[in-house]
Structure 1
Amino acid sequence: MNKRLVILLAAYCGLNSPVQALPEVIDNSAYPPSAAAAANNIAPSPSTSSLMEMTGRLEQLQTEVQQLTGKVEEQANTIAELKKQQKARLGDVEDRLQSLEGKGTSGASADTPAPVPEAPASDASAPAPAAEPAPPRAADTPRPPIDATPPAAAPVPAAPVAKTPAPVVSDAENAAYKSAYLALRSGHTDDAISGFNNYLTTYPNSGLAGNAQYWLGEAYLVKKDPETAKQAFSNVGKNYPNSAKQADALYMLGKIELDQNHPDKARDYLTQVTSQYPNTTAARAATKKLLTLNISQ
Protein backbone atom coordinates (compact mmCIF):
# COMPACT_ATOMS: atom_id res chain seq x y z
CA MET A 1 0.00 0.00 0.00
CA ASN A 2 2.75 2.40 0.92
CA LYS A 3 4.73 1.61 -2.18
CA ARG A 4 1.72 2.30 -4.34
CA LEU A 5 1.14 5.63 -2.63
CA VAL A 6 4.71 6.71 -3.17
CA ILE A 7 4.55 5.82 -6.86
CA LEU A 8 1.35 7.82 -7.30
CA LEU A 9 2.85 10.87 -5.60
CA ALA A 10 5.91 10.69 -7.80
CA ALA A 11 3.79 10.45 -10.93
CA TYR A 12 1.65 13.40 -9.77
CA CYS A 13 4.71 15.58 -9.13
CA GLY A 14 6.16 14.73 -12.51
CA LEU A 15 3.01 15.80 -14.27
CA ASN A 16 2.84 19.16 -12.46
CA SER A 17 6.56 20.21 -12.94
CA PRO A 18 7.30 22.78 -15.86
CA VAL A 19 8.75 21.42 -18.99
CA GLN A 20 12.28 22.84 -19.67
CA ALA A 21 12.97 23.73 -23.29
CA LEU A 22 16.01 22.19 -24.84
CA PRO A 23 18.61 24.53 -26.42
CA GLU A 24 18.17 25.19 -30.14
CA VAL A 25 20.42 23.16 -32.31
CA ILE A 26 22.29 25.28 -34.89
CA ASP A 27 23.55 23.56 -37.97
CA ASN A 28 26.80 25.29 -39.10
CA SER A 29 27.49 22.85 -41.84
CA ALA A 30 25.91 25.16 -44.44
CA TYR A 31 28.42 28.03 -43.70
CA PRO A 32 32.13 28.17 -44.48
CA PRO A 33 34.50 27.69 -41.54
CA SER A 34 35.61 31.36 -41.49
CA ALA A 35 32.00 32.63 -41.34
CA ALA A 36 31.22 30.23 -38.53
CA ALA A 37 34.25 31.41 -36.56
CA ALA A 38 33.29 35.05 -37.11
CA ALA A 39 29.75 34.32 -35.94
CA ASN A 40 31.03 32.72 -32.76
CA ASN A 41 33.72 35.48 -32.12
CA ILE A 42 31.91 38.81 -32.60
CA ALA A 43 34.12 41.79 -31.57
CA PRO A 44 32.69 43.91 -28.83
CA SER A 45 31.69 47.53 -29.63
CA PRO A 46 34.22 50.26 -28.67
CA SER A 47 33.71 51.76 -25.29
CA THR A 48 32.91 55.41 -24.61
CA SER A 49 36.38 56.07 -23.19
CA SER A 50 38.05 54.86 -26.41
CA LEU A 51 35.90 57.19 -28.49
CA MET A 52 36.76 60.16 -26.28
CA GLU A 53 40.45 59.33 -26.52
CA MET A 54 40.30 59.20 -30.30
CA THR A 55 38.40 62.49 -30.40
CA GLY A 56 41.00 64.17 -28.19
CA ARG A 57 43.83 62.88 -30.32
CA LEU A 58 42.14 64.18 -33.48
CA GLU A 59 41.73 67.64 -31.94
CA GLN A 60 45.40 67.64 -30.93
CA LEU A 61 46.45 66.81 -34.48
CA GLN A 62 44.28 69.60 -35.84
CA THR A 63 45.91 72.06 -33.43
CA GLU A 64 49.40 70.98 -34.48
CA VAL A 65 48.47 71.37 -38.16
CA GLN A 66 47.22 74.90 -37.49
CA GLN A 67 50.43 75.79 -35.66
CA LEU A 68 52.56 74.44 -38.49
CA THR A 69 50.49 76.39 -41.02
CA GLY A 70 51.04 79.58 -39.03
CA LYS A 71 54.80 78.99 -38.89
CA VAL A 72 54.93 78.40 -42.64
CA GLU A 73 53.08 81.67 -43.28
CA GLU A 74 55.37 83.53 -40.88
CA GLN A 75 58.48 82.17 -42.60
CA ALA A 76 57.06 83.10 -45.99
CA ASN A 77 56.52 86.68 -44.82
CA THR A 78 60.05 86.80 -43.41
CA ILE A 79 61.53 85.56 -46.69
CA ALA A 80 59.52 88.13 -48.63
CA GLU A 81 60.75 90.91 -46.34
CA LEU A 82 64.36 89.79 -46.72
CA LYS A 83 63.96 89.78 -50.49
CA LYS A 84 62.66 93.36 -50.36
CA GLN A 85 65.60 94.47 -48.22
CA GLN A 86 68.07 92.75 -50.52
CA LYS A 87 66.47 94.35 -53.58
CA ALA A 88 66.59 97.78 -51.89
CA ARG A 89 70.28 97.35 -51.04
CA LEU A 90 71.15 96.28 -54.56
CA GLY A 91 69.21 99.22 -55.92
CA ASP A 92 71.04 101.58 -53.59
CA VAL A 93 74.41 100.24 -54.72
CA GLU A 94 73.34 100.46 -58.36
CA ASP A 95 72.26 104.09 -57.92
CA ARG A 96 75.57 104.98 -56.32
CA LEU A 97 77.51 103.30 -59.09
CA GLN A 98 75.52 105.13 -61.74
CA SER A 99 76.01 108.41 -59.90
CA LEU A 100 79.74 107.86 -59.86
CA GLU A 101 79.76 107.02 -63.54
CA GLY A 102 77.85 110.24 -64.23
CA LYS A 103 80.47 112.22 -62.36
CA GLY A 104 83.21 110.52 -64.36
CA THR A 105 81.84 111.77 -67.67
CA SER A 106 82.40 115.42 -66.70
CA GLY A 107 86.12 115.04 -66.08
CA ALA A 108 88.34 113.48 -63.45
CA SER A 109 86.45 111.31 -60.99
CA ALA A 110 87.51 109.75 -57.71
CA ASP A 111 86.19 106.33 -58.69
CA THR A 112 87.34 106.37 -62.31
CA PRO A 113 90.80 107.92 -62.15
CA ALA A 114 92.17 109.67 -65.20
CA PRO A 115 95.62 111.08 -65.92
CA VAL A 116 96.17 114.66 -64.86
CA PRO A 117 95.98 116.94 -67.93
CA GLU A 118 98.98 119.05 -68.79
CA ALA A 119 98.89 122.80 -68.17
CA PRO A 120 97.79 124.78 -71.25
CA ALA A 121 100.41 126.79 -73.05
CA SER A 122 98.45 130.04 -72.74
CA ASP A 123 96.11 131.38 -70.09
CA ALA A 124 92.60 130.81 -71.41
CA SER A 125 91.09 133.00 -68.70
CA ALA A 126 92.75 136.15 -70.10
CA PRO A 127 90.38 138.09 -72.38
CA ALA A 128 91.33 138.23 -76.03
CA PRO A 129 92.38 141.68 -77.31
CA ALA A 130 89.71 143.51 -79.24
CA ALA A 131 90.29 144.31 -82.89
CA GLU A 132 91.37 147.92 -83.43
CA PRO A 133 89.11 149.95 -85.75
CA ALA A 134 90.56 151.46 -88.89
CA PRO A 135 91.73 155.07 -88.35
CA PRO A 136 89.30 157.62 -89.83
CA ARG A 137 90.45 159.85 -92.63
CA ALA A 138 90.89 163.47 -91.71
CA ALA A 139 88.90 164.71 -94.73
CA ASP A 140 85.86 162.57 -93.99
CA THR A 141 85.35 162.86 -90.23
CA PRO A 142 86.04 165.67 -87.78
CA ARG A 143 88.53 165.10 -85.02
CA PRO A 144 86.70 164.15 -81.77
CA PRO A 145 87.25 166.29 -78.70
CA ILE A 146 89.66 165.00 -76.08
CA ASP A 147 87.81 163.32 -73.19
CA ALA A 148 89.58 163.66 -69.88
CA THR A 149 87.45 160.85 -68.31
CA PRO A 150 89.50 157.68 -68.01
CA PRO A 151 88.02 154.65 -69.72
CA ALA A 152 86.01 152.21 -67.60
CA ALA A 153 87.90 149.22 -66.40
CA ALA A 154 87.10 145.96 -68.11
CA PRO A 155 85.10 143.50 -65.96
CA VAL A 156 87.28 140.93 -64.27
CA PRO A 157 86.13 137.43 -65.15
CA ALA A 158 84.99 135.30 -62.20
CA ALA A 159 87.52 132.81 -61.00
CA PRO A 160 86.54 129.25 -61.84
CA VAL A 161 85.47 126.98 -58.99
CA ALA A 162 88.33 124.77 -57.99
CA LYS A 163 87.63 121.05 -58.44
CA THR A 164 89.08 118.29 -56.39
CA PRO A 165 91.91 116.88 -58.47
CA ALA A 166 91.76 113.24 -59.36
CA PRO A 167 94.16 111.05 -57.41
CA VAL A 168 97.31 110.26 -59.29
CA VAL A 169 97.76 106.50 -59.40
CA SER A 170 99.90 104.15 -61.41
CA ASP A 171 98.55 102.01 -64.21
CA ALA A 172 98.82 98.88 -62.04
CA GLU A 173 96.83 100.51 -59.22
CA ASN A 174 94.23 101.75 -61.63
CA ALA A 175 93.82 98.32 -63.25
CA ALA A 176 93.49 96.52 -59.90
CA TYR A 177 90.92 99.01 -58.62
CA LYS A 178 88.81 98.88 -61.78
CA SER A 179 88.86 95.09 -61.76
CA ALA A 180 87.38 94.92 -58.24
CA TYR A 181 84.96 97.77 -58.98
CA LEU A 182 83.59 96.11 -62.13
CA ALA A 183 83.27 92.79 -60.30
CA LEU A 184 81.01 94.47 -57.72
CA ARG A 185 78.97 96.16 -60.41
CA SER A 186 78.45 92.93 -62.35
CA GLY A 187 77.26 91.05 -59.24
CA HIS A 188 80.40 89.01 -58.56
CA THR A 189 80.47 90.00 -54.89
CA ASP A 190 83.03 87.46 -53.72
CA ASP A 191 85.47 88.49 -56.43
CA ALA A 192 84.92 92.14 -55.53
CA ILE A 193 85.60 91.53 -51.83
CA SER A 194 88.77 89.62 -52.67
CA GLY A 195 89.85 92.30 -55.13
CA PHE A 196 89.36 95.23 -52.75
CA ASN A 197 91.10 93.42 -49.89
CA ASN A 198 94.06 92.63 -52.13
CA TYR A 199 94.14 96.23 -53.31
CA LEU A 200 94.25 97.59 -49.75
CA THR A 201 97.01 95.13 -48.87
CA THR A 202 99.10 95.87 -51.96
CA TYR A 203 98.47 99.63 -52.21
CA PRO A 204 97.64 100.87 -48.68
CA ASN A 205 98.81 104.42 -49.48
CA SER A 206 97.16 104.69 -52.89
CA GLY A 207 95.06 107.69 -53.75
CA LEU A 208 92.13 105.29 -54.28
CA ALA A 209 92.61 103.30 -51.07
CA GLY A 210 89.81 105.20 -49.30
CA ASN A 211 87.44 104.48 -52.18
CA ALA A 212 88.39 100.80 -52.15
CA GLN A 213 87.75 100.67 -48.40
CA TYR A 214 84.29 102.17 -48.89
CA TRP A 215 83.26 99.82 -51.70
CA LEU A 216 84.47 96.91 -49.62
CA GLY A 217 81.79 97.84 -47.09
CA GLU A 218 79.17 98.01 -49.84
CA ALA A 219 80.19 94.54 -51.01
CA TYR A 220 79.76 93.12 -47.51
CA LEU A 221 76.29 94.65 -47.34
CA VAL A 222 75.36 92.82 -50.53
CA LYS A 223 76.63 89.63 -48.86
CA LYS A 224 74.22 90.31 -45.92
CA ASP A 225 77.10 90.77 -43.48
CA PRO A 226 76.27 94.11 -41.80
CA GLU A 227 78.75 93.72 -38.95
CA THR A 228 81.73 93.33 -41.28
CA ALA A 229 80.32 96.11 -43.43
CA LYS A 230 80.25 98.44 -40.41
CA GLN A 231 83.90 97.66 -39.71
CA ALA A 232 84.80 98.41 -43.32
CA PHE A 233 82.94 101.74 -43.30
CA SER A 234 84.50 102.70 -39.97
CA ASN A 235 87.97 102.08 -41.41
CA VAL A 236 87.32 104.74 -44.05
CA GLY A 237 87.42 107.50 -41.44
CA LYS A 238 89.99 105.72 -39.30
CA ASN A 239 92.57 105.02 -42.00
CA TYR A 240 91.64 107.57 -44.68
CA PRO A 241 90.13 110.64 -42.94
CA ASN A 242 90.66 112.84 -46.02
CA SER A 243 88.94 110.43 -48.39
CA ALA A 244 86.14 111.72 -50.58
CA LYS A 245 84.11 108.75 -49.36
CA GLN A 246 84.11 109.74 -45.69
CA ALA A 247 80.64 111.35 -45.85
CA ASP A 248 79.17 108.34 -47.66
CA ALA A 249 80.76 105.97 -45.13
CA LEU A 250 79.21 107.85 -42.19
CA TYR A 251 75.83 107.80 -43.93
CA MET A 252 76.02 104.04 -44.47
CA LEU A 253 76.95 103.51 -40.82
CA GLY A 254 73.84 105.44 -39.79
CA LYS A 255 71.71 103.48 -42.24
CA ILE A 256 72.94 100.14 -40.90
CA GLU A 257 72.29 101.19 -37.30
CA LEU A 258 68.79 102.26 -38.31
CA ASP A 259 68.15 98.90 -39.99
CA GLN A 260 69.35 97.17 -36.80
CA ASN A 261 66.86 99.20 -34.74
CA HIS A 262 69.51 101.36 -33.03
CA PRO A 263 67.94 104.82 -33.50
CA ASP A 264 70.29 106.68 -31.13
CA LYS A 265 73.45 105.47 -32.87
CA ALA A 266 71.87 106.08 -36.26
CA ARG A 267 71.03 109.67 -35.30
CA ASP A 268 74.63 110.31 -34.20
CA TYR A 269 76.10 109.14 -37.52
CA LEU A 270 73.52 110.96 -39.65
CA THR A 271 73.98 114.17 -37.69
CA GLN A 272 77.73 114.00 -38.30
CA VAL A 273 77.06 113.82 -42.02
CA THR A 274 74.76 116.86 -42.08
CA SER A 275 77.02 118.97 -39.84
CA GLN A 276 80.47 118.03 -41.18
CA TYR A 277 79.63 117.55 -44.87
CA PRO A 278 76.79 119.94 -45.78
CA ASN A 279 75.67 120.45 -49.37
CA THR A 280 76.65 116.92 -50.31
CA THR A 281 74.57 114.07 -51.65
CA ALA A 282 75.17 112.12 -48.45
CA ALA A 283 74.02 115.09 -46.35
CA ARG A 284 70.76 115.37 -48.27
CA ALA A 285 70.10 111.66 -47.87
CA ALA A 286 70.97 111.86 -44.16
CA THR A 287 68.51 114.74 -43.71
CA LYS A 288 65.71 112.61 -45.13
CA LYS A 289 66.63 109.74 -42.82
CA LEU A 290 66.65 112.06 -39.81
CA LEU A 291 63.20 113.38 -40.68
CA THR A 292 61.87 109.84 -40.98
CA LEU A 293 63.53 108.91 -37.70
CA ASN A 294 62.03 111.89 -35.87
CA ILE A 295 58.55 111.21 -37.25
CA SER A 296 58.63 107.54 -36.26
CA GLN A 297 59.50 108.36 -32.63
Structure 2
Amino acid sequence: MAGLFFHAIICAVVGLIVAGCSSGSKSVAPASGPAERSAVERPPRPATLEDVRKTQETQTQEVGRLTGEVKALDAQQAFLVTELKSLSEQLAKLKASVDDARLAVEAIQRATPVTPPATPPPAALSQPPPPMLPPAAPPRAAVAPPTPTLRNPDADRMFAAALAKLRAGEDGQAALEFTEFVTQFPNHPQAAAAQNWIGEAFYRQRDYKQAVVEFQKTVDNYTQTTQVAEALLKIGLCKRAMGDAAGARAAWEQVIKQYPRSEAASQARGFLAGRTNGGSRVR
Protein backbone atom coordinates (compact mmCIF):
# COMPACT_ATOMS: atom_id res chain seq x y z
CA MET A 1 0.00 0.00 0.00
CA ALA A 2 2.79 2.36 0.96
CA GLY A 3 4.60 1.39 -2.15
CA LEU A 4 1.69 2.41 -4.34
CA PHE A 5 1.44 5.77 -2.63
CA PHE A 6 5.14 6.44 -3.08
CA HIS A 7 4.90 5.44 -6.70
CA ALA A 8 2.00 7.87 -7.25
CA ILE A 9 3.98 10.71 -5.74
CA ILE A 10 6.90 10.05 -8.06
CA CYS A 11 4.59 10.03 -11.07
CA ALA A 12 3.06 13.32 -10.01
CA VAL A 13 6.47 14.96 -9.61
CA VAL A 14 7.56 13.70 -13.02
CA GLY A 15 4.34 14.99 -14.55
CA LEU A 16 4.88 18.45 -13.05
CA ILE A 17 8.43 18.55 -14.35
CA VAL A 18 7.29 17.57 -17.82
CA ALA A 19 4.51 20.19 -17.77
CA GLY A 20 6.95 22.91 -16.67
CA CYS A 21 9.35 22.15 -19.47
CA SER A 22 6.56 22.21 -21.99
CA SER A 23 5.26 25.63 -20.91
CA GLY A 24 8.82 27.02 -20.83
CA SER A 25 9.46 25.99 -24.39
CA LYS A 26 6.20 27.63 -25.56
CA SER A 27 7.04 30.94 -23.88
CA VAL A 28 10.49 31.17 -25.51
CA ALA A 29 9.36 30.23 -29.03
CA PRO A 30 7.78 33.61 -30.01
CA ALA A 31 11.05 35.49 -29.33
CA SER A 32 13.03 33.50 -31.87
CA GLY A 33 10.41 32.32 -34.37
CA PRO A 34 10.19 33.00 -38.17
CA ALA A 35 7.60 35.82 -37.74
CA GLU A 36 10.04 37.95 -35.73
CA ARG A 37 12.81 37.46 -38.31
CA SER A 38 10.47 38.44 -41.19
CA ALA A 39 9.54 41.66 -39.38
CA VAL A 40 13.20 42.65 -39.06
CA GLU A 41 14.22 41.65 -42.61
CA ARG A 42 11.14 43.26 -44.44
CA PRO A 43 12.24 44.99 -47.80
CA PRO A 44 11.51 48.74 -48.54
CA ARG A 45 7.92 49.61 -49.53
CA PRO A 46 7.55 49.99 -53.34
CA ALA A 47 6.33 53.36 -54.86
CA THR A 48 2.58 53.70 -55.05
CA LEU A 49 0.35 55.42 -57.64
CA GLU A 50 -0.03 58.32 -55.21
CA ASP A 51 3.74 58.84 -55.18
CA VAL A 52 3.83 58.86 -59.00
CA ARG A 53 0.94 61.33 -59.15
CA LYS A 54 2.67 63.74 -56.78
CA THR A 55 5.89 63.54 -58.81
CA GLN A 56 4.00 64.32 -62.02
CA GLU A 57 2.25 67.28 -60.39
CA THR A 58 5.61 68.70 -59.28
CA GLN A 59 7.04 68.33 -62.78
CA THR A 60 3.92 69.92 -64.33
CA GLN A 61 4.22 72.92 -62.02
CA GLU A 62 7.89 73.35 -62.97
CA VAL A 63 7.06 73.19 -66.69
CA GLY A 64 4.30 75.77 -66.19
CA ARG A 65 6.71 78.10 -64.41
CA LEU A 66 9.29 77.81 -67.20
CA THR A 67 6.60 78.35 -69.84
CA GLY A 68 5.52 81.54 -68.09
CA GLU A 69 9.10 82.82 -68.08
CA VAL A 70 9.45 82.09 -71.80
CA LYS A 71 6.22 83.98 -72.55
CA ALA A 72 7.45 86.93 -70.50
CA LEU A 73 10.70 86.98 -72.49
CA ASP A 74 8.74 86.81 -75.76
CA ALA A 75 6.59 89.75 -74.68
CA GLN A 76 9.67 91.76 -73.74
CA GLN A 77 11.26 90.98 -77.10
CA ALA A 78 8.09 92.08 -78.94
CA PHE A 79 8.08 95.32 -76.97
CA LEU A 80 11.72 96.01 -77.87
CA VAL A 81 11.01 95.31 -81.54
CA THR A 82 8.10 97.77 -81.45
CA GLU A 83 10.27 100.41 -79.79
CA LEU A 84 12.97 99.90 -82.42
CA LYS A 85 10.43 100.29 -85.20
CA SER A 86 9.09 103.47 -83.62
CA LEU A 87 12.59 104.91 -83.33
CA SER A 88 13.28 104.02 -86.96
CA GLU A 89 10.12 105.84 -88.04
CA GLN A 90 11.07 108.90 -86.00
CA LEU A 91 14.53 108.86 -87.56
CA ALA A 92 12.98 108.69 -91.03
CA LYS A 93 10.75 111.68 -90.23
CA LEU A 94 13.71 113.65 -88.94
CA LYS A 95 15.63 112.83 -92.11
CA ALA A 96 12.67 113.99 -94.20
CA SER A 97 12.54 117.24 -92.21
CA VAL A 98 16.24 117.79 -92.84
CA ASP A 99 15.71 117.16 -96.54
CA ASP A 100 12.81 119.61 -96.59
CA ALA A 101 14.93 122.25 -94.88
CA ARG A 102 17.67 121.64 -97.42
CA LEU A 103 15.18 122.07 -100.26
CA ALA A 104 14.01 125.34 -98.74
CA VAL A 105 17.59 126.60 -98.51
CA GLU A 106 18.26 125.55 -102.09
CA ALA A 107 15.10 127.32 -103.18
CA ILE A 108 16.31 130.51 -101.52
CA GLN A 109 19.74 130.12 -103.07
CA ARG A 110 18.22 129.61 -106.51
CA ALA A 111 16.00 132.61 -106.00
CA THR A 112 18.76 134.95 -104.83
CA PRO A 113 20.65 135.14 -108.17
CA VAL A 114 17.49 136.43 -109.81
CA THR A 115 17.91 139.76 -107.98
CA PRO A 116 20.71 141.11 -110.25
CA PRO A 117 18.12 142.47 -112.75
CA ALA A 118 17.84 145.35 -110.29
CA THR A 119 21.42 146.40 -111.24
CA PRO A 120 20.76 147.37 -114.89
CA PRO A 121 19.64 150.91 -113.93
CA PRO A 122 23.28 151.91 -113.28
CA ALA A 123 24.14 150.48 -116.71
CA ALA A 124 21.41 152.59 -118.22
CA LEU A 125 22.73 155.62 -116.40
CA SER A 126 26.14 154.93 -117.87
CA GLN A 127 24.75 156.09 -121.22
CA PRO A 128 24.27 159.84 -120.68
CA PRO A 129 23.61 160.89 -124.32
CA PRO A 130 19.92 159.90 -124.43
CA PRO A 131 18.17 162.40 -122.14
CA MET A 132 15.05 160.20 -121.88
CA LEU A 133 16.84 157.27 -120.25
CA PRO A 134 16.21 158.31 -116.63
CA PRO A 135 12.41 158.09 -117.08
CA ALA A 136 12.94 154.57 -118.48
CA ALA A 137 14.20 153.43 -115.09
CA PRO A 138 10.72 153.15 -113.49
CA PRO A 139 9.63 150.33 -115.86
CA ARG A 140 12.64 148.32 -114.74
CA ALA A 141 11.74 149.09 -111.16
CA ALA A 142 8.31 147.68 -111.94
CA VAL A 143 9.93 144.30 -112.58
CA ALA A 144 11.57 144.44 -109.17
CA PRO A 145 8.44 143.97 -107.00
CA PRO A 146 8.53 140.17 -107.36
CA THR A 147 11.97 140.12 -105.72
CA PRO A 148 10.63 140.55 -102.17
CA THR A 149 8.50 137.47 -102.83
CA LEU A 150 11.57 135.55 -103.91
CA ARG A 151 13.20 136.26 -100.57
CA ASN A 152 10.04 135.75 -98.53
CA PRO A 153 10.91 133.14 -95.89
CA ASP A 154 7.20 132.46 -95.31
CA ALA A 155 6.83 131.37 -98.92
CA ASP A 156 9.82 129.06 -98.68
CA ARG A 157 8.54 127.53 -95.46
CA MET A 158 5.09 127.05 -96.97
CA PHE A 159 6.57 125.31 -100.01
CA ALA A 160 8.77 123.05 -97.86
CA ALA A 161 5.85 122.15 -95.58
CA ALA A 162 3.62 121.23 -98.52
CA LEU A 163 6.39 119.11 -100.03
CA ALA A 164 6.83 117.34 -96.69
CA LYS A 165 3.12 116.49 -96.70
CA LEU A 166 3.45 114.99 -100.17
CA ARG A 167 6.46 112.93 -99.13
CA ALA A 168 4.56 111.66 -96.11
CA GLY A 169 1.77 110.41 -98.38
CA GLU A 170 -0.72 113.11 -97.33
CA ASP A 171 -1.59 113.84 -100.95
CA GLY A 172 -4.88 115.66 -100.31
CA GLN A 173 -3.40 118.01 -97.71
CA ALA A 174 -0.35 118.60 -99.90
CA ALA A 175 -2.56 119.61 -102.84
CA LEU A 176 -4.38 122.13 -100.64
CA GLU A 177 -1.16 123.66 -99.32
CA PHE A 178 0.45 123.88 -102.76
CA THR A 179 -2.72 125.52 -104.11
CA GLU A 180 -2.55 128.11 -101.33
CA PHE A 181 1.13 128.67 -102.10
CA VAL A 182 0.46 129.30 -105.82
CA THR A 183 -2.41 131.63 -104.95
CA GLN A 184 -0.36 133.73 -102.53
CA PHE A 185 2.95 133.66 -104.40
CA PRO A 186 2.22 133.30 -108.14
CA ASN A 187 5.57 134.88 -109.09
CA HIS A 188 7.71 132.79 -106.76
CA PRO A 189 10.45 130.77 -108.52
CA GLN A 190 8.87 127.60 -107.15
CA ALA A 191 5.32 128.50 -108.25
CA ALA A 192 5.53 126.38 -111.42
CA ALA A 193 6.96 123.45 -109.46
CA ALA A 194 4.19 123.86 -106.88
CA GLN A 195 1.58 123.74 -109.65
CA ASN A 196 3.13 120.53 -110.94
CA TRP A 197 3.08 119.06 -107.42
CA ILE A 198 -0.65 119.76 -107.27
CA GLY A 199 -1.07 117.67 -110.41
CA GLU A 200 1.23 115.03 -108.94
CA ALA A 201 -0.92 114.81 -105.79
CA PHE A 202 -4.03 114.09 -107.86
CA TYR A 203 -2.08 111.65 -110.06
CA ARG A 204 -1.01 109.68 -107.00
CA GLN A 205 -4.64 109.52 -105.89
CA ARG A 206 -5.52 108.17 -109.38
CA ASP A 207 -7.73 111.17 -110.08
CA TYR A 208 -6.22 111.39 -113.55
CA LYS A 209 -8.82 113.75 -114.96
CA GLN A 210 -8.15 116.42 -112.33
CA ALA A 211 -4.42 115.77 -112.59
CA VAL A 212 -4.56 116.65 -116.30
CA VAL A 213 -6.36 119.90 -115.41
CA GLU A 214 -3.64 120.85 -112.90
CA PHE A 215 -0.72 119.92 -115.17
CA GLN A 216 -2.33 121.90 -117.99
CA LYS A 217 -2.27 124.98 -115.73
CA THR A 218 1.51 124.68 -115.65
CA VAL A 219 1.61 124.50 -119.45
CA ASP A 220 -0.68 127.54 -119.79
CA ASN A 221 0.59 129.78 -116.96
CA TYR A 222 4.31 129.04 -116.77
CA THR A 223 5.36 128.77 -120.39
CA GLN A 224 8.86 130.13 -119.73
CA THR A 225 9.81 127.50 -117.17
CA THR A 226 11.30 124.04 -117.53
CA GLN A 227 8.37 122.67 -115.53
CA VAL A 228 6.27 122.67 -118.72
CA ALA A 229 8.19 119.68 -120.07
CA GLU A 230 7.53 117.73 -116.87
CA ALA A 231 3.86 118.73 -116.97
CA LEU A 232 3.46 117.50 -120.56
CA LEU A 233 5.17 114.23 -119.67
CA LYS A 234 2.74 113.68 -116.79
CA ILE A 235 -0.24 114.63 -118.95
CA GLY A 236 0.79 111.79 -121.24
CA LEU A 237 0.92 109.40 -118.27
CA CYS A 238 -2.55 110.50 -117.14
CA LYS A 239 -3.94 110.07 -120.66
CA ARG A 240 -2.48 106.58 -120.86
CA ALA A 241 -3.94 105.68 -117.46
CA MET A 242 -7.36 106.81 -118.71
CA GLY A 243 -7.02 104.63 -121.81
CA ASP A 244 -6.40 107.53 -124.20
CA ALA A 245 -3.38 106.17 -126.05
CA ALA A 246 -3.59 108.81 -128.77
CA GLY A 247 -3.69 111.62 -126.21
CA ALA A 248 -0.70 110.18 -124.40
CA ARG A 249 1.31 109.91 -127.62
CA ALA A 250 0.42 113.49 -128.57
CA ALA A 251 1.60 114.82 -125.19
CA TRP A 252 4.89 112.92 -125.33
CA GLU A 253 5.56 113.97 -128.91
CA GLN A 254 4.98 117.57 -127.86
CA VAL A 255 7.57 117.19 -125.10
CA ILE A 256 10.12 115.82 -127.56
CA LYS A 257 9.38 118.55 -130.08
CA GLN A 258 9.47 121.55 -127.72
CA TYR A 259 12.08 120.32 -125.21
CA PRO A 260 14.21 117.79 -127.12
CA ARG A 261 17.18 117.93 -124.73
CA SER A 262 15.23 117.75 -121.48
CA GLU A 263 15.06 114.76 -119.17
CA ALA A 264 11.31 114.69 -119.73
CA ALA A 265 11.91 114.29 -123.48
CA SER A 266 14.24 111.37 -122.81
CA GLN A 267 11.57 109.69 -120.70
CA ALA A 268 8.92 110.45 -123.32
CA ARG A 269 11.00 108.67 -125.96
CA GLY A 270 11.19 105.67 -123.65
CA PHE A 271 7.40 105.68 -123.17
CA LEU A 272 6.82 105.90 -126.91
CA ALA A 273 9.25 103.05 -127.48
CA GLY A 274 7.55 101.00 -124.76
CA ARG A 275 10.75 100.65 -122.74
CA THR A 276 9.25 101.80 -119.45
CA ASN A 277 5.94 101.86 -117.65
CA GLY A 278 6.44 105.25 -116.07
CA GLY A 279 5.46 106.24 -112.56
CA SER A 280 5.42 109.08 -110.11
CA ARG A 281 8.04 109.98 -107.59
CA VAL A 282 8.65 112.80 -105.17
CA ARG A 283 12.06 114.32 -105.68
Q: TM-score, normalised by structure 2?
A: 0.45
Compare CA radii of gyration and give the structure with the larger one: 2
Q: Name the structure with the higher helix share.
A: 2
